Structure 1
Amino acid sequence: MRLLLMSDTHLPKRAKELPAPLLEEIPRADVVLHAGDWVDTATLDLLESRSRRLVGVYGNNDGPALRARLPEVARADLGGLRFGAVHETGPAQGREVRCAARFPGLDVLVFGHSHIPWDTTAPSGLRLLNPGSPTDRRRQPYCTYMTATVDGGRLTDVELHRLPPRHTT
């Protein structure tokens, strides 16, 4: 099972559209996970129409229209693993222990908010993944997203993808 992970798309505030390399990944994915801060409903509509399966949550920049359609926390069983998605997890320091306590029973937690890619494993075994942002790199050198594979109840091939810089005219 191929997964596409993204967060913090912030459309149309940070970019006019999702980057082409990311859009090309959508039909290749069995499941798209979005960890919030969509900002507009058009992005949700786009991902719903192009994804085989979409798991998403709202973020702190998402207004009433998105909050009416998305949960704050989502859970999904994918290929024998228990996934969760949430936008905010708090400060980096202590994140693994805090998230393991808040989300017992999960194998993988996808989160966003910081725009900083993150891939760690809590002492409990909970894998924490933040794909960064495909449209707003903030203090990071690149805009990013992640792909991963679930195979035989194991998460494999977790890969952070760097996007080319946007060109302005």
Structure 2
Amino acid sequence: MRLLLMSDTHLPKRAKVLPDPLLAEIPHADVVFHAGDWVDTETLDLLEARCRRLVGVYGNNDGPDLRARLPEVAYAELAGVRFGVIHETGAAQGREQRCAARFPGLDVLVFGHSHIPWDTTAPTGLRLLNPGSPTDRRRQPHCTYMTATVADGLLTDVELHRLPPRALR
């Protein structure tokens, strides 16, 4: 099962539309995760229309319309792997221990907010993934998103994809 992970799209504030390379990944994904800060409902509508399955949450920049349609925390079990999605996890220091204590039943936690790609594993085995942002790199060298594969209770092939600057419109 192929996964596509994104967060912090901030449309149309940071870019006008999602980058073409990211949109091209959607038909190949069995499940798309979005870890919040959509900002506009049009992006949610687009992903709901194009994705086979969407697992998303609202972020701190999302208004009442998005909060009415999305949870603060979402859960999904895929091919024997237990996923959680949340926007904010707090400061980087102590993140693994804090998230492992808050989400003891998960195998993978997808999060956003910082726009900083993150891939670590807590001592408990909880894998923490932040795909960065495909539209707002902030102080990062590139805009990013992630893909991964899940099968037979294992998450594999986690890959961070860097978007070329010309991909943003």
Q: TM-score, normalised by structure 1?
A: 0.98
User: What does residue 152 of structure 2 align with?
Assistant: 152
Q: Distance in 2 between matches of 1:86 and 1:148?
A: 18
User: What does residue 57 of structure 2 align with?
Assistant: 57
Instruction: Note the aligned Cα RMSD (angstroms).
Output: 1.2
Q: Distance in 2 between matches of 1:147 and 1:128?
A: 14
Q: 1:67 to 1:95 in 2, by over 3 A?
A: same
User: What does residue 78 of structure 1 align with?
Assistant: 78
Letter paired with 1:91: A
User: What does residue 10 of structure 1 align with?
Assistant: 10
Q: Distance in 1 between matches of 2:66 and 2:168?
A: 29
Q: Aligned to 1:166, what secondary structure does the other structure show? A: helix
Q: Distance in 2 between matches of 1:123 and 1:36?
A: 26
- Give yes or no for the alignment of 1:110 onto 2:113: no
Q: 1:140 to 1:17 in 2, by over 3 A?
A: same
Shift of residue 167, structure 1, vs aligned partner = 7.0
**1:17-56 map, 5 Å:** 17-56=17-56
**1:88-103 map, 5 Å:** 88-103=88-103
Q: Aligned to 2:119, what secondary structure does the other structure show? A: strand
Q: Distance in 1 between matches of 2:66 and 2:30?
A: 23
Q: Distance in 2 between matches of 1:66 and 1:102?
A: 24
Shift of residue 166, structure 1, vs aligned partner = 3.3
- Give yes or no for the alignment of 1:164 onto 2:159: no
Q: Distance in 1 between matches of 2:36 and 2:142?
A: 19
Deviating runs (4+, > 2 A) in structure 1?
Answer: 166-169
Q: Aligned to 1:89, what secondary structure does the other structure show? A: coil
Q: Distance in 2 between matches of 1:109 and 1:27?
A: 23
Q: Aligned to 1:45, what secondary structure does the other structure show? A: helix
User: What does residue 68 of structure 2 align with?
Assistant: 68
Q: TM-score, normalised by structure 2?
A: 0.98
Q: Distance in 1 between matches of 2:65 and 2:78?
A: 27
Letter paired with 1:153: G
Q: Distance in 2 between matches of 1:24 and 1:139?
A: 25
Of all paired residues, the percent bearing the same amino acid is: 85
Letter paired with 1:40: D
Q: 1:12 to 1:153 in 2, by over 3 A?
A: same
Q: Distance in 2 between matches of 1:19 and 1:70?
A: 23
